[in-house]
Amino acid sequence: MKKFWLASTAAAALIGGSADAADMAVPGPVYRPLPVVTYFTWSGCYVGGNAGGLWARTDWTDQIPGDPSFGADFGRQTVDGGLGGGQVGCNYQLGGWVLGLQGDYDWSQAGGSSVNIVFPSLSDQSNVRSLWSLTGRVGYAWDRFLLYGKAGGAWERSDYNILRPGAFPIALTAETRGGWTMGIGGEYAFLDWLTGFVEYDYYNFGTNTNTFICPSTPPTCGFVSATAPINVTISANVLKAGLNFKFGPTAPLLARY
In a domain, 254, yes or no: no
Look at the chain and report how many structural domains it folds into.
1
In a domain, 27, yes or no: no
Alpha carbons within 13 angstroms on the beta-carbon side of residue 178 total 4
In a domain, 118, yes or no: yes
The reported pLDDT for the residue numbered 29 is 65
pTM for this entry: 0.81
In a domain, 180, yes or no: yes
Contact indicator for 160, 127 with CB cutoff of 8 Å = yes
In a domain, 28, yes or no: no
Percentage of the chain beyond pLDDT 90 is 65
pLDDT tens by residue, the chain, 257 residues: 444 444 454 444 444 554 454 455 555 566 666 555 667 999 999 999 999 999 999 999 999 888 788 999 999 999 999 999 999 999 999 999 999 999 999 999 999 999 999 988 889 999 999 999 999 999 999 999 999 999 999 999 999 998 887 767 788 899 999 999 999 999 999 999 999 999 999 999 999 999 988 766 555 566 656 688 999 999 999 999 999 999 987 655 444 44
In a domain, 119, yes or no: yes
The reported pLDDT for the residue numbered 241 is 98
The reported pLDDT for the residue numbered 221 is 64
In a domain, 2, yes or no: no
In a domain, 3, yes or no: no
DSSP symbols for 38-99: E-----EEEEEEEEEEEEEEEEEEE--TT-TTTT-EEEEEEEEEEEEEEEEEEEEEETTEEE
Domain that holds residue 56: 44-245
Question: Alpha carbon of 215 to those of 91, 104, 221, 225: distances in Å?
Answer: 51, 36, 9, 10
Strands, E assignment, the chain? 37-38, 44-62, 73-94, 97-115, 123-142, 145-163, 169-191, 194-213, 227-247, 255-256
The reported pLDDT for the residue numbered 10 is 46
From 178, 182, 184, 218, select the one nearest 198 (Cα to Cα). Answer: 184
From 159, 160, 61, 77, select the one nearest 112 (Cα to Cα). Answer: 77
Which amino acid is residue 41, in one-letter code? T
The domain spanning residue 134 has which CATH number?
Answer: 2.40.160.20
Q: How far is 38 from 109, CA to CA, in rounded Å?
A: 45
Q: How far is 213 from 220, CA to CA, in rounded Å?
A: 11
The H or E element containing residue 12 is: helix 2-25
